[in-house]
Amino acid sequence: MTASADPTGTEHHVRSALVRDVPASYVHCIKRPGLRQQLDVSLAREQHGQYVRALRDCDVSVTVVPSDDGIPDAPFIEDTAVVLPGRDAVLARSSVSSRAPEAQGVLSFLEQHRTVEVMPPGATLDGGDVLWIGNTLHVGISDRTNQSGSEFLERVARRARLTVRPIPVQGGLHLKSCCTYLGRGLLLHAAGKVGPHAFPDMELVCAPEDTGANVLAVNGKILVPAEAPRTLELLERHGFQVVPISLSEFQKGNGGVTCLSLRIG
């Protein structure tokens, strides 16, 4: 999870982003439970290219980090780190052994932008569990992120005068699988997966499709899965400029719009 919040906390401005190539081994990524459809690596690469072009069309400078066949889930680069405003970033530690090498693969690129604090053994965190709204990092406590990971992030985030607020995740892989921030005080969420008291200061907007709950607000536009057409229409009715992105092959791997980039303010 990355980007820098504007002074009002209503929008995250993104100057640059890291993405990671889709390896041939992506066919062996950790797949959505119960998935019966075959994963198409060629189509995933095509969709990834469309995603990169969409970011660049939003005035984001994109760096493509090379991948390799030893890390099939590497395109989900958001999970590897949390980039904070100012000088710091936290290199995350995965709870999944097959994903452990991913963070090291982006470290040298991340060090070009920030001083990187490495999460210690025993603490686990995925960037997909970190939802930044204003001066608060909402951290999902999930199968991928534990309390120790949240506490380590909190110690580093204090330097940037950010507050960390743990939230139990129910019914989703990550916190941002269940909800994402649109701006204007509006939180988009999947039905039944965000309790009424989880975000007391937000106006909740329910995505008509669960896959529509993960969107990416970037520089005045909202990137939305093309597989969630009713969510696209809903956000247009709310006055947002939406950009549909085809993500079928990444949804098969438990991914969404935010997962495919590590954004830097």
Active-site annotation, residues: 174, 259
The string over 155-184, giving b where at least 16 C-beta atoms fall within 10 Å of a residue's C-beta and e elsewhere, is ebbeeeebebebbebeebbbbbbbbbbbbe
Return d(Cα 250, Cα 90) in angstroms, integer: 25
- Nearest to 54, CA basis, from 247, 265, 223: 223
Give the whole-angstrom CA distance, residue 104 versus residue 136.
27
CB 225 within 8 A of CB 206: no
Give, in order, the Cα–Cα distances in Å from 232 to each of 11, 49, 90, 109, 254.
19, 21, 33, 33, 20
Phi, psi of 3, rounded to the nearest 5 degrees: 125, 175
Token digits for 137? 């990092």
d(CA 84, CA 201): 22
Which distant-in-sequence residues (6+ apart) come within 8 Å of 176 by Cβ? 1, 128, 129, 130, 131, 140, 214, 256, 258, 259
Helices (H), the chain: 41-57, 101-110, 147-157, 175-178, 229-237, 248-251
